[in-house]
Amino acid sequence: MTKEKVVIGLSGGVDSAVAALLLKKEGYNVIGAFMKCFSDVKNPLTGECNWVAEKQMAQRIAAKLGIKFVMLDFEKEYTKFVIKEMYKAYSKGLTPNPDIVCNTLIKFPLFWKHAKKLGADKIAMGHYARIMPFGKKFKLLAGKDKTKDQSYFLYELSQKDLSHTLFPIGNLTKEEVRKIAKKAKLPNWDKKGTRGVCFIGKVNFQSFLRKKIKGKEGNVIDSFGNIIGKHNGTMFYTLGQRIGSHIGIEIDKPHGTEEKKWYVAAKLKNNVLVAAPEGHGLLKKKEVFIANIRFVNKHKTGRMKARIRHLGEFHNGVLKHKDGRWKFVFDEPVFGISPGQAIVFYLKDEVAGGGEIRLK
């Protein structure tokens, strides 16, 4: 009996390639679908758009596995819902996470819509995460490989999304994935993983933002209000970001702090950045408010652990709901919390939910 038809997001990377291989071995009728979402970044050596090389590798993988290959052009939607919204958030002084938006609006619902047109029963992705049936609902769990876990980016997925999605490598480590790929003689078995923003890659982010956001010079002050340097516009910087020439800021460090690392501690409304040396109280927060909160199953409050960045350490604390607002109170003050970034809550390996960080 023929198994279900599954359309897998085939990116050109080893993770999705092995996921497709495993699905085929399980007897699924597999279609590999490459998503074209962003074409502005080019290879500095060849001058060719990065997505072209990734598509060619995805085609090679599909041919090697003997599965049908299609390309889905989502660039229009990606530009509208991810890129433009990202620019808007940065211009407001927030530090958004476009990878989460990409998953919430592009990689899962839009991909599923097109997969159904191909006759799909399910979709699959090469994410390091797991989905577990729970009665009539589903739980989202962290991936087995704690060094590659991608559940942080998936907390906004709905029960509907989870009901028709497969994560074939969620129970594997990256090392195991590469071994499987090498044994199967996949051409990308030793290909380096991608970094940077989803579909964009690793770019000079300040230069990327400057394409749409105009800079405005302002002062950098210390905690006493003394001017110690200049910056190019508060929207280009993130709380907790280390200050230095690599981000275009040089400061005159006050006496006694010359050997210390300095960080962005606050953004003031008058285009002023507050900087502070490592260990300063301004750099840590004991609690945060949460906007646009989402839960994978039902609303939860109480003790849990939280992450404020992908693969960041877990921080224990309490999720509270009071006077119509959600907030998370950490057991210990946490460094590097930035408005706009995601805070994701976990109960052991289960993703309870998450939302956007606000400081007031």
Task: Check: CB of residue 59 under 8 Å from CB of residue 69.
Answer: yes
Angle at 274 between CA 270 and CA 277, to 5 degrees: 175
* 141 vs 149: CA distance, rounded Å: 9
Task: Check: CB of residue 346 under 8 Å from CB of residue 305.
Answer: yes
Task: Check: CB of residue 111 under 8 Å from CB of residue 9.
Answer: yes
Catalytic residue among 21, 67, 82, 102: 102
* 112 vs 129: CA distance, rounded Å: 18
Q: Count H helices, E strands: the chain?
A: 9, 17
Catalytic residue among 14, 86, 198, 265: 198
Task: Check: CB of residue 319 under 8 Å from CB of residue 346.
Answer: no
CA distances from 327 to 106, 268, 288 (A): 28, 22, 6
**Nearest in space to 106 (alpha carbons), one of 172, 156, 171, 53:** 156
Task: Check: CB of residue 17 under 8 Å from CB of residue 186.
Answer: yes
Which helix (H) or strand (E) covers residue 90, if one does? helix 84-91
Is 37 one of the catalytic residues? Answer: no
Strands 227-231 and 218-221: antiparallel
Task: Check: CB of residue 85 under 8 Å from CB of residue 99.
Answer: no
Which are the contacts of 172, defined by CB distance < 8 A and separation ≥ 6? Answer: 18, 144, 145, 180
Q: How far apart are the two ends of the chain, measured CA to CA in Å?
A: 57
Active site residues: 102, 198
